[in-house]
Structures are given as structure tokens and as C-alpha cells.
Amino acid sequence: MIVSGRLYLGTQFAMAVLMRKSLLPFLSVAMSLLVAATLGLAAVTKVETIGQVEKVIYKARMFPGWMVPWVSLAIPVVEGLVVLAILVPKTRKHGLTAASVLFSAFAAYNVWRIMRNIAVPCACFGTLLKTTPQNSLAVSLLALVLSQAARTRR
């Protein structure tokens, strides 16, 4: 009776380990798709409200005035390319690395905005979501953690 009980617990433990190992690739893909969806939504909404994006970048005074239109256009293009890299399985890890770099840059940008007291609502998701620099920083850090978790869960 005791042997069969231990055997049952051992089997349950083995099944739990197998289930966890088989879930890891699924979780990695799910997290990757969430990162891609976040960047894709951000890219589309930035393109739709490019004027607001330019205004926020200009007010941050991180770039010379003549560069602002180019930077505000380059950001959604890069986001779109990173989304494509994440969606292709062979380039997913590189896409997630690029996403991590982007989210780190966005976090640094929001720290800059906090330090400079730039209260213009973030243009991260166009007019869909207007947030303070502090909230944008939190979203950027959360997305960074998610992209790193998806990248390392392979």
C-alpha cells in the first residue's frame, strides 16, 4: 500500500515536470506574441498620430529640431521591423533582443522626461493611451521584463 502510494506520487511528480517542460515553449511563444502585439499597436498608433509624436519628441529637446520629424518616423518603422523579426521563428530571439533594446531606450527616454519635468502626455500609443512619464516608465520596464523573459525561455 505504501509502495503504491509512493509510486503514485512519483508518477504525479514526473507528469508535473513533463507538463512544465512542455509548457515552456508555449509560454515563450505567448510572451513573444504579447511583446510583438504591444510594439505593433504602438507603431500603428504612432503613425496615426505622427504630429503628437513629433510634439512630444520636440519638447523633450533630446534631438535638434531638424531631426525630430525623422526620429518620429523612424521609431514606428523600427518597431514594425522588430515585430516582423519576432513573428518569424528563426529571428525571434534577435527580435526579442531588439525589443529589449527598444524598451530600454523608451525607459531611458521617460527617465529623461521625468528629470526635465516634461509633462506632455506620452505618445507611446498615440491618442489611444495618454499617460504621465512615470506611468510610461512603468510600462516600458514591464515590457522590458516581458521581452527578456520571452527571450530566455527558449
The answer on pLDDT for 55 being more than 90 is no
The answer on pLDDT for 151 being more than 60 is yes
CB 31 within 8 A of CB 150: yes
Cα 64 to Cα 50, 58, 61, 98, 121: the distances in Å are 17, 8, 7, 25, 20
> What pLDDT shows up at residue 22?
64
CA angle 135, 40, 95 (to 5 degrees): 100
> What pLDDT shows up at residue 126?
65
CB 57 within 8 A of CB 111: no
The answer on pLDDT for 103 being more than 90 is yes
The answer on pLDDT for 29 being more than 70 is yes
Q: Cell for 120?
A: 506632455
Q: How many H helices and E strands in the chain?
A: 5, 0
pLDDT higher at 62 or 142: 142
> What pLDDT shows up at residue 3?
47
